């Protein structure tokens, strides 16, 4: 199952809104007969590739002796491809080991039930927690209709994202910045606030990481409540990736026409206390409402936020994961990574249910989950 989970990650960034799935076919003595993973949206599923791999090695006639190890319940419905549960039955595979049930309503245990009703021995739950975390974006979207929100921050050892003059280039080193590009390649969309857009006009595209065959750049989402950002920003004109400008009802951004010509769109959402309603925005991103042409609903959102947006998301309990780089630098007075969350007691501090630390070049990366795996 560990191997199947590793295989599943190869589809990251290319299969959404489908889940990441890996599969391994084992012979009766535990030898690997075939491997596969879901590699692109609309393409064959992991089970299909694993069977094809076994057949390519001349083992197709022995699948009656095999065990299929797969990270997600084999589907039981006709989508863009035939049901994988039917494939298992057609190939007479007698045993299936599944990490997790599929939460998608059209499957939701029906694949497992179909296999068992036809005499297949099915074991469920092996590396289940790891599999749920792997597909947390998919599962979050199924359960809530909203994308998984991953907040990325880079701060100095004393918690500053910029010096007192506002300079922030660069807090972290090249290894950390390259990793952020890999994250972008794995996410459906990247979100910034108007302050970041105005100050940096970031490209928000994947440049230091490869895109898979058929994979497109992530959607760029820019918050601009008043619709007052400069029309000449590259985000609105360069066409390097689709851009969604989020404005308040009634705003009339001067860049609307240029944005449409570049393949982007303007999305209007309600306001609350003179701020964009971030919860409503997540609902609309998850539903695919108002998206640029050809852009699918958002399952995963990487937020590359300044302190204002980061604080708002955290204060409203809209963050699922935190990706926080700590650089070995001290600047003293400067811009804090997070502003006042209005917490009075340490017992009220935001706490993580899971957390890891790792080194990335000369920096340290904290990965934290604010919610249990769904």
Question: What 3-state class would DSSP assign to 83?
Answer: coil
**Is 125 annotated in some ligand binding site?**
no
Take residue 144 and report the two structure tokens written for it: 């809530």
How many Cα atoms are found within 13 Å in the side-chain-facing hemisphere of 159? 5
Contact (Cβ atoms closer than 8 angstroms) between residue 207 and residue 174: no
**Is 201 annotated in some ligand binding site?**
no
**Is 84 annotated in some ligand binding site?**
yes
Q: Which of 31, 35, 47, 261 is catalytic?
A: 47
**Is 324 annotated in some ligand binding site?**
no
**Is 40 annotated in some ligand binding site?**
no
**Residue 333 a catalytic site member:** no
Take residue 104 and report the two structure tokens written for it: 């998608």
**Is 304 annotated in some ligand binding site?**
yes
**Is 356 annotated in some ligand binding site?**
no
Q: Closest by alpha carbon to 21, among 68, 86, 67?
A: 68
**Is 170 annotated in some ligand binding site?**
yes
**Is 157 annotated in some ligand binding site?**
no
**Is 311 annotated in some ligand binding site?**
yes
- Rounded Cα distance between 267 and 284, Å, is 9
**What's the CA angle centered on 16, arms 14 and 19, to 5 degrees?**
105
Take residue 254 and report the two structure tokens written for it: 């001067």
**Is 336 annotated in some ligand binding site?**
no
- Rounded Cα distance between 344 and 373, Å, is 28
How many helices and strands, by DSSP H and E, does the chain display? 12, 18
Residues in binding site for NADP(+): 154, 170, 196, 200, 306-312
Residues in binding site for Zn(2+): 45, 75, 84
Catalytic residues: 47
Residues in binding site: 45, 75, 84, 154, 168, 170, 184, 196, 200, 204, 207, 304, 306-312
């Amino acid at each position: 199952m560990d191997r199947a989970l590793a295989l599943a990650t190869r589809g990251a960034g290319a299969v959404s809104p489908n889940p990441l799935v890996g599969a391994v076919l084992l012979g009766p003595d535990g030898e690997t007969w075939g491997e596969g993973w879901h590699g692109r949206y609309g393409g064959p599923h992991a089970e299909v590739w694993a069977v094809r791999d076994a057949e390519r090695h001349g083992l197709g006639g022995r699948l009656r002796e095999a065990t299929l190890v797969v990270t997600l319940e084999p589907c039981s419905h006709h989508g863009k491809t035939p049901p994988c549960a039917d494939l298992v039955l057609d190939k007479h595979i007698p045993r299936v080991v599944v990490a997790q049930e599929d939460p998608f309503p059209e499957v939701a245990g029906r694949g497992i039930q179909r296999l068992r009703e036809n005499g297949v021995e099915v074991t469920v739950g092996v590396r289940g927690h790891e599999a749920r975390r792997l597909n947390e974006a998919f599962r979050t979207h199924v359960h809530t209709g909203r994308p998984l929100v991953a907040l990325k921050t880079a701060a100095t050892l004393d918690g500053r994202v910029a010096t007192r003059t506002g300079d922030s280039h660069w807090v972290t080193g090249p290894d950390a910045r390259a990793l952020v590009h890999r994250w972008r390649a794995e996410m459906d969309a990247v979100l910034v606030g108007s302050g970041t857009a105005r100050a940096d006009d970031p490209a928000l595209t994947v440049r230091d990481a490869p895109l898979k065959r058929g994979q497109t750049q992530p959607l760029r989402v820019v918050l601009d409540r008043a619709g007052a950002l400069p029309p000449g920003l590259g985000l609105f004109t360069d066409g390097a990736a689709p851009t969604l400008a989020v404005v308040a009802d009634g705003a009339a951004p001067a860049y609307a026409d240029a944005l449409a010509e570049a393949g982007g769109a303007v999305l209007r959402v309600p306001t609350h206390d003179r701020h964009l309603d971030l919860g409503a925005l997540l609902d609309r991103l998850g539903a695919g409402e108002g998206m640029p042409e050809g852009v699918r609903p958002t399952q995963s959102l990487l937020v590359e936020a300044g302190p204002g947006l980061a604080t708002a998301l955290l204060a409203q309990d809209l963050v699922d994961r935190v990706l926080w780089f700590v650089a070995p630098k001290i600047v003293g007075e400067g811009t804090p990574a997070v502003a006042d969350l209005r917490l009075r007691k340490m017992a009220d501090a935001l706490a993580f249910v899971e957390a890891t630390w790792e080194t990335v070049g000369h920096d340290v990366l904290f990965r934290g989950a604010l919610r249990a795996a769904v």
